A and B are shown apart, each in its own frame.
Chain A
Amino acid sequence: DAGVIQSPRHEVTEMGQEVTLRCKPISGHDYLFWYRQTMMRGLELLIYFNNNVPIDDSGMPEDRFSAKMPNASFSTLKIQPSEPRDSAVYFCASSPQGPHSYEQYFGPGTRLTVT
Chain B
Amino acid sequence: GENVEQHPSTLSVQEGDSAVIKCTYSDSASNYFPWYKQELGKRPQLIIDIRSNVGEKKDQRIAVTLNKTAKHFSLHITETQPEDSAVYFCAARTMNYGGATNKLIFGTGTLLAVQP
Decide if B43 is an interface residue (CB 8 Å cutoff).
Answer: yes
Interface residues on B, range: 20 to 34
**8 Å CB contacts to B: which residues of A60-115?**
91, 95, 101-109
B44 touches A106 (CB 8 A): yes
CA distance A31 to B104 in the complex (A): 12
Contact of B104 among A45, A50, A105 (CB under 8 A): A45
Residues from chain A with a CB closer than 8 A to the CB of B104 are 45, 104
B103 touches A56 (CB 8 A): yes
Decide if B102 is an interface residue (CB 8 Å cutoff).
Answer: yes
Instruction: Please judge, given known A-B contacts A102-B93, A103-B49, whether A108 and B43 are in contact too, CB under 8 Å.
Output: yes
In the complex formed, the residue of B with least CB distance to A39 is B109
B102 touches A101 (CB 8 A): yes
Instruction: Please judge, given known A-B contacts A42-B108, A102-B93, A103-B49, whether A109 and B103 are in contact too, CB under 8 Å.
Output: no
**8 Å CB contacts to A: which residues of B86-109?**
89, 93, 101-109
Shortest distance between the CB of A76 and any CB in chain B (Å): 19
Instruction: Please judge, given known A-B contacts A43-B89, A102-B32, A103-B34, whether A56 and B44 are in contact too, CB under 8 Å.
Output: no
In the complex formed, the residue of A with least CB distance to B108 is A42
B44 touches A102 (CB 8 A): no
CA distance A94 to B112 in the complex (A): 26
Decide if B3 is an interface residue (CB 8 Å cutoff).
Answer: no
Residues from chain B with a CB closer than 8 A to the CB of A50 are 102
Instruction: Known pairs A45-B103, A56-B103, A106-B45; list 5 more (Cβ under 8 Å).
Output: A91-B43, A102-B34, A104-B34, A105-B46, A109-B43
Q: List 11 A-B contacts (CB under 8 A).
A: A42-B106, A42-B107, A43-B44, A43-B106, A43-B109, A45-B104, A48-B102, A91-B44, A104-B46, A106-B43, A108-B42
Which 5 residue pairs are nearest across A and B when measured between Cβ atoms? Answer: A106-B43, A102-B32, A43-B106, A42-B108, A106-B44
